Chain A
């Protein structure tokens, strides 16, 4: 956290801005009577959950609202004496990029996939009709790529976006946004799609460039950790309204508005609590599990492919009532391990012993009685429920397959919905009628319908807003205790892992590099990689305050 700057001139002033939504939307205004200022040389974070209108307000500044359905209804956006809400498109174009730059969440879709990086950067200069020669532009591009910390700018410039990693793409995006040295940078969730270590680097880069160029940065995020890492000032939005604004110091540690307090209290604390060791019976024991993708063989129609080791020599046990966290960055193979245990993927070598019996070699028929004991909760609450089937049919599918009579399984489904906190009317509805959090609850009810002994939660809360995430985590914890389940909790989020897991296995490139008690792993990490992961968690120095109300 850097110290807040005072008595500065506002470079962007937003007065009573309202943005109207089409008549069929759930509320009349996406952004409702919002006023704030941005000063030169500060990072202003706008925080809120999905649907809070945080992106809409910045899109309005850039003139990027999806017209004609969504438009500025009233208010003004003052920048250099102009009202950006009213000026015409050609004027706006000269401001975009040149005076105000923007970076987006998904660097893959924000870059043109069939154009080389240097060409895309060139376009920025060309579209603003700057009188620069080709060689000047070339050297500028190299300089810019160098500025955002890309090694070998020459090579990067000659690459296509798909040849770069997510972090490199985001760096290119930043270089593009800053090419014309704008006064304001708007960053819309720029690190949400990135791994934690990459996120840390990008945050550092943005803060560095901001200081070097004395820019005003509007940083939109849902993550209070990121806020703690980077913000000078913070605006908290809820349902299109600003509920609280102030210095980062104040908002993070002594928030006043009940909504801010609620949001902050749902942020999982990084410091793990020491938990008692569990020595109940082992439910599942993974031994020397190997899984590779791709085979080195040529067939008549297929191409030869290279071999990727998704998991190498994985070993762990999960006991009754224990939650084992499997953490790692994307591509570390953590999901693969979960899917190998439940046999969605077939593994190459090793054993998965479920209650003492190796299940990897079983045929489908032999596997049937064991299937009901191992269940899974999936990441995407939208893709994991069949959109064409009613909730009741979805929840009772498992029991029906295993021969439970319909009446009995529907009665059980009603009870399960009650356990996960939904009404029984939900049974007769279709998935699209539910919110993300509600769908995840349905997914949990579906898994529980089989009365499992082992529950595999594959990034089960990653797609949810922080307050909904907290509720679902609470529910999972409650269920685990009530039913005495063993749980494999796959996640990339160390804060969440610290909160829910008894033991942690850290994975890197298909291997477990550290395995131990959560408290020990978090407070006394042994492996270099674990240390770097923990070091990269945004806002790690911020101790999440607890409120007594």
Chain B
């Protein structure tokens, strides 16, 4: 009788194989690939902003106010995207502004993930009173229109970019808590968790070593999607004057600064507006691709 126990030595590390399979799935989604390229370029621009930007983002060139971009009539190669009402170079402001976008995205997501995961796991592992308190609190936060809630929080904390990020994080956290709890609950029903329990594993061990890694895939997708929403909300708060304060070249704040010129000099709003649009779109496309690649049910074939 042939016994079904043959095991060969691993050819390559399992991690590499998993990555390769992930990359294969991700590549299938062309939109996600383009999104990734755009965001990568933007990331490089943000990192090397000091070297790439031709001018300082806050220096004023009084001789050229509201200069149109180079492709419009009267444009000049000295200021490719033109200058704003105070004579600041638009291109340099855009380049430095990309830093704010990543800064906002990463910080907000960091807070959302850590707090969301911890609260979600606590809720999943403590059925009853604690779960009810956490989840109902999240329901209450979700019951407010998110931007209104963020506005109210900023109004309390005072307008600044940091406070805007805190407000956005608070508004986003319930999504992470719910997702983590739902995932954890479905994992808790599986026998590998029972097995760890019979070994005497502590709750902390069950939460973070056994259950959490199996909940990560949808959380990563949610984090990516929220990354773009955070940029969008921060821009909205900036536009309303409740986010980053002038003269910082945050894209939303730039929109707000040029609001009065929308009819006479539309590119002043158009350029940061388009930048926000493409960034958010690209990140959302990446999120879509990640979901396809990470969700085993969507895989093109069983590996």
Contacts and interface: CB of A to CB of B under 8 A. Distances in A.
Given A388-B214, A428-B10, A471-B3, A398 B191 contact: no
A401 B14 contact: no
Given A69-B301, A371-B200, A401-B201, A433 B192 contact: no
A387 B14 contact: no
Contacts of B194: 339, 344, 376, 378, 384
Interface stretch (A130-138, A142-150, A417-425): A417-425
Interface in B153-207: 190-192, 194-202, 205
What are the 5 A-B residue pairs with the smallest beta carbon separation, nearest first? A398-B199, A384-B191, A388-B213, A378-B191, A371-B200
A287 interface: no
Contact of B214 (A371, A387, A428): A387
Given A371-B199, A376-B198, A433 B14 contact: yes
B198 A344 contact: yes
A277 interface: no
Interface string A345-369: 0000000000000000000100110
A81 B14 CA distance: 52
A377 B196 CA distance: 12
Contacts of A412: none
Interface string A380-394: 100111111110001
B63 interface: no
B73 interface: no
B191 A383 contact: yes
Interface in B1-19: 1, 3-10, 14
A453 B213 CA distance: 32
Contacts, number: 101
Interface in B103-139: 132
A438 B192 contact: no
Contacts of B7: 422-423, 425-426, 429, 434, 438
B248 interface: no
Nearest to A375: B198
Contacts of B205: 401
27 contacts: A24-B301, A262-B1, A344-B197, A364-B200, A367-B200, A371-B198, A372-B200, A374-B198, A376-B195, A384-B191, A384-B194, A384-B195, A397-B199, A397-B201, A398-B199, A398-B200, A401-B200, A401-B201, A423-B6, A426-B7, A429-B14, A430-B14, A434-B7, A438-B4, A443-B195, A450-B199, A467-B1
A401 B10 contact: no
Contacts of A371: 198-200
A379 interface: yes
A246 interface: no
A437 interface: yes
A186 to B, nearest CB: 25
Nearest to B1: A262
A301 B128 CA distance: 10
B245 interface: no
B146 interface: no
A203 interface: no
Interface string B280-303: 000000000000000000000101
Nearest to A370: B200
A319 interface: no
A429 B198 contact: no
A151 interface: no
B9 A425 contact: yes
A374 B199 CA distance: 9
A342 interface: yes
B258 interface: no
A22 interface: yes
Interface of A: 22, 24, 69, 262, 301, 339, 342, 344, 364, 367-368, 371-372, 374-376, 378-380, 383-390, 394, 397-398, 401-402, 421-423, 425-426, 428-430, 432-435, 437-438, 441, 443, 446, 450, 467-468, 471
Contact of A386 (B8, B132, B200, B210): B210
A332 B210 CA distance: 31
A468 B301 contact: no
Contacts of B213: 386, 388-389
Nearest to B201: A401
Contacts of A368: 200
A277 to B, nearest CB: 30
Given A301-B132, A432-B303, 10 more contacts: A24-B301, A344-B198, A364-B200, A376-B194, A378-B191, A383-B190, A387-B192, A398-B199, A401-B205, A437-B5
Given A24-B301, A428-B14, A471-B1, A342 B198 contact: yes
B128 to A, nearest CB: 9
Which of A22, A342, A402, A433 lies at the interface centre, i.e. has the most chain B CB atoms within 10 A of its CB?
A433
Contact of B192 (A342, A386, A435): A386
Contacts of A379: 191
A387 B4 CA distance: 21
A441 B190 contact: no
B14 A380 contact: no
Given A430-B14, A471-B1, A471-B3, A386 B214 contact: yes
Nearest to B196: A397
Contacts of B5: 421-423, 437-438, 441
A383 B6 CA distance: 22
A380 B191 contact: yes
A28 to B, nearest CB: 15
Given A344-B198, A401-B200, A471 B14 contact: no
Contacts of A435: 4
